[in-house]
Amino acid sequence: MNIISTPARPGAAGTSEPRPTREEAEAAVRTLLRWAGDNPTREGLVDTPSRVVRSYEEFFAGYDVDPVALLERTFEETEGYDEIVLLRDIRLESHCEHHMVPILGRAHVAYLPHRRVVGISKLARVVEAYSKRLQIQEKLTAQIANTIQDVLEPRGVAVVIEAAHQCMTTRGVHKPGVTMVTSRMLGVFRDNATTRRELLAMIGNRGSSIMTE
């Protein structure tokens, strides 16, 4: 199996550097406030650094979660069920790794079981584990699908994500209302057009705008 590795704490992903302390993180926020042109010691901002650090703990909690472990408990008593399992409209909140601004949307996650199934909440938790990291949507889509395929070894996996990126809606080209759609189809969802059409109909027949990798 080609299991996707999970960044380990303490320390930064891909480096041997120790994780900064909370005090260092708050000092960095104060520096950014000064750079923006404001005074971090004024009443309205004096507690902002600690609030920002606490919010970052929520925004990026996925670095502390192992998505593989979430899927390891499965169930084989399925009475021979071998049809599509789809979790639709999973709320997705992530942050763009280029500008660190929100990516907001929804994910649709499906798989075709082969002998075993997993609790549906675990699928949503895998989405959350990867989305609560700095991301680009294409990578996020692939990570979710690849992990489910590698751990559950189903007949196929499909992940479709529809999201708005504030890096282009609130800055840059300023184009509100634009949604990016990505998909990752594996196994029968990639190889069998009939199965793929069935899935897209279950999602809501948005297939005309779906990019298949």
- Has 96 been annotated as catalytic? yes
Catalytic residue among 96, 138, 166, 198: 96
Catalytic residue among 135, 137, 143, 149: 137
Catalytic residue among 26, 95, 135, 167: 167
- Has 167 been annotated as catalytic? yes
- Has 97 been annotated as catalytic? yes
Catalytic residue among 26, 138, 165, 213: 165
Torsion of CA 97, 101, 106, 107, to 10 degrees: 10
- Has 99 been annotated as catalytic? yes
- Has 137 been annotated as catalytic? yes
In order of 28, 75, 136, 142, the CA distances from 114 in angstroms are 49, 11, 30, 21
Which residues are within 8 A (CB) of 196 and not within 5 positions of it... i.e. 6 or more apart? 158, 185, 189, 190, 207
Catalytic residue among 97, 138, 153, 198: 97
For the chain, the 3-state helix, strand and coil shares in percent, each to the nearest 5, are 40, 25, 40
Catalytic residue among 23, 57, 72, 98: 98
Catalytic residue among 99, 138, 153, 166: 99
- Catalytic (active-site) positions: 96-99, 137, 165, 167
